[in-house]
Structure formats: C-alpha cells, structure tokens
Homo-oligomer: A and B are copies of this chain.
Amino acid sequence: MREWSFKRNDHIPPIGRKVRNNMTNQQEDGIWLHCSNSAVRRASRRLGQLYGHVMGDSDLKSTQFSLMSQIARSGEPTLKNLAEAMVMDLSALGHTLKPLIRDGMVELVPDERDRRVKRVRLTEAGTAKQQELLTLWRDAQSRFDQAFGKEKSAELRKALALISSAEFAEAFTKS
C-alpha cells in the first residue's frame, strides 16, 4: 500500500503551485474551482457521458440529438443561423452535420433567393428518429432535474444561456 497524503482544502494553493497530491477522491481542489472555462468544460464532459449513457445504443449521440432538436425547433435554418444559435463555428457545424447527412437524418437544401445560402432540414427519417429519442432525452433530463433540483436546473440553464449570448461575448471582449 502506498502512503496517501490526506485532503486539506483549508488552504487553497494558487493555480499551478505544485502540491504532490496523490489523493484519489474527487473532492480535492482543482483548476475547475478557479477557472470558469475549465469548470464548464468538465461539467460538459460529465453530462455528455451521463446523457449519452441514457441515449444508450440508439443511433444518435446526445450531441446529434441536440443538434437535430434545434433544427426541428428552428424550422429550416440556414447553416449560418444554426451555427449562431448553437454558438458553433460555421465550419465546425458543417463537419458535424456530415455523419447526419450521410445517415439520411438531415439534408441541405439551397435557398431559392440567395444562391450562397443553404438551409438545413430534417428528413422524414430524421424527424422520426428525433421524435423517437425524445422519450430517452426526457428520461435523462428528468434525472438531471431530480439530482440537481428542478428550480436550480432552470436557473442554471438561464445562466448558461446568458454566458452563451452574443451580448456576453461582447461584454467579455470589450472590457
């Protein structure tokens, strides 16, 4: 057996200070308690895993389900608008759509008035699949609400929507 040092969260060492920390448990101090970016990414990994497991062996990843749900919700958005809504780089969106297009879940249709523009649309199969997975998604979301608190859950989403907004980006950048 190795000699373990014990948790001591009383004096929080500054970022990047070496502590020779061999602790196994999760409660230890970490960068995510100091860096909002790290904190959000870390949580997104956890939720990706959690929601993903609920989605299970369905053909779609939780990210794909999100994207398709947003497409359905938007009607028939242009790539540009969809990218903005998802806070995603336009080219990243293009790449992300490829597997969905390949699998016949989504199709791109040229806009009639502006030949530069392409609109994103769920195929019939895509719509059906999205509807089908709604049940699983609801299970995941209700588990989340249960574990985190329905109230706090809604508040959190609102806070995150604020952070994701263009106005926030503006404020962050200009200051």
Where the two chains meet, the residues of A that have a C-beta atom closer than 8 Å to any C-beta of B are 2, 13, 15-24, 26-51, 53, 62-63, 66, 69-70, 72-77, 81, 84-89, 113, 130-131, 134, 137, 140-141, 143-148, 152-153, 156-169, 171-173, 175
Instruction: Count copies of this chain in the complex.
Output: 2
In order of increasing CB-CB distance, the 7 nearest A-B pairs are A20-B75, A147-B171, A43-B160, A39-B160, A44-B44, A38-B66, A39-B157
Instruction: Say whether A30 contacts B70, CB under 8 Å.
Output: yes
Name the B residues within 8 Å of A39 (CB-CB).
156-157, 160-161, 164
With A157-B32, A168-B148 in contact, is A72–B17 under 8 Å at CB? yes
Q: Select from chain B the residue with minimum beta-carbon distance to A85.
A: B30
Interface of A is mostly: helix
Instruction: Say whether B41 contacts A48, CB under 8 Å.
Output: yes
Instruction: Say whether B35 contacts A141, CB under 8 Å.
Output: yes
Instruction: Say whether A86 contacts B18, CB under 8 Å.
Output: no
Name the B residues within 8 Å of A73 (CB-CB).
13, 15-19, 21, 29-31
Name the B residues within 8 Å of A169 (CB-CB).
46, 49-50
Name the B residues within 8 Å of A89 (CB-CB).
49
Q: Which of A26, A84, A169 has its CB near the most chain B CB atoms (within 10 A)?
A: A26
Instruction: Say whether A41 contacts B63, CB under 8 Å.
Output: yes
A144 to chain B, nearest CB (A): 5
Name the B residues within 8 Å of A34 (CB-CB).
141, 157
Q: In the complex the two chains form, what is the Cα distance from A44 to B160 in whole Å? A: 9
Instruction: Say whether B46 contacts A87, CB under 8 Å.
Output: yes
